[in-house]
Amino acid sequence: MQRGRLGGLDWEEKRARFQSLRLSAKGLRLLTARRIRYQVACSLDGYIAGPNGEIDWIPNDPDIDFGALLAQFDTLLMGRRTYQALPSHEGLEGKRIVVFSRTLRPEEHPEVTVSRELEAEVKRLRAEDGKDVWLFGGGQLFGSLLELGLVDTVEPAIIPVILGGGVPMLPAPGVRRRLQLTGHRAYPKTGIVLLEYAVRPEGGPRCRS
């Protein structure tokens, strides 16, 4: 065998191949990891509920397949207020619901997992095998997770209404993050526009202030 060669490849080629394998293994892990996706219905002026928590402005669009949407997820994350505003769990049978709260007593809500360990719990969920995780809301929980760098996508369904006030999609003060458009679709029957953005990793190109 020639010095510095093994199996027909020299050491430099071996090293390059090994490195590219390691990179692709990392890439594969990134590609297959379950994502935390904030999917939310949002007014054009940035609210997810009216001033009194109203959601009567969100129309049912016959072209949006809610079943297919739900099938992409096996776990839902909710802030305590969203959980308490939910009229029922109808349609969510078989889904794991994790509610974040520092005030709820877990033993009083056996139908869900109540956690106060936001970062640890979400990191653990993310590392598990499974479908994507629906960050169901609300805005406060989104803000907490965005700050921790634990939101992979932001997917607002923009409803053609101006509410003039209410529960913001992201309460101030929030962090700034760059987004990359990954998909969009308009639903002409109701005028809903679905936008899909990937949250860019921190350290990427900065926004101008």
Closest-approach residue to ligand NAP (CB): 138
Give the nearest distance from C-beta 182 to ligand NAP in angstroms.
20
When the beta carbons of 27 and 164 are compared against ligand NAP, the nearer one is: 164
Q: Which amino acid is at 209?
A: S
Give the nearest distance from C-beta 167 to ligand NAP in angstroms.
4
| Binding positions for ligand NAP, rule: CB under 6 A | 40-41, 48-49, 53, 55, 79-82, 85, 100-104, 116, 118, 136-141, 144, 167
User: By C-alpha distance, which of 139, 136, 145 is closest to 72?
Assistant: 136
When the beta carbons of 16 and 148 are compared against ligand NAP, the nearer one is: 148
- The set of residues, in sequence order, having a beta carbon less than 8 Å from that of 49 and lying 6+ positions away, is 55, 85, 138, 166, 167
When the beta carbons of 34 and 80 are compared against ligand NAP, the nearer one is: 80
Handedness of CA 83, 86, 89, 91 (dihedral sign): negative
d(CA 120, CA 209): 32
Give the nearest distance from C-beta 208 to ligand NAP in angstroms.
28
When the beta carbons of 35 and 81 are compared against ligand NAP, the nearer one is: 81
Q: Which amino acid is at 133?
A: V
Q: How many CB atoms lie within 10 A of CB 126?
A: 15
Task: Provide the CA 76 distance to its chain's centre, in angstroms.
Answer: 10
Give the nearest distance from C-beta 140 to ligand NAP in angstroms.
3
Give the nearest distance from C-beta 171 to ligand NAP in angstroms.
6
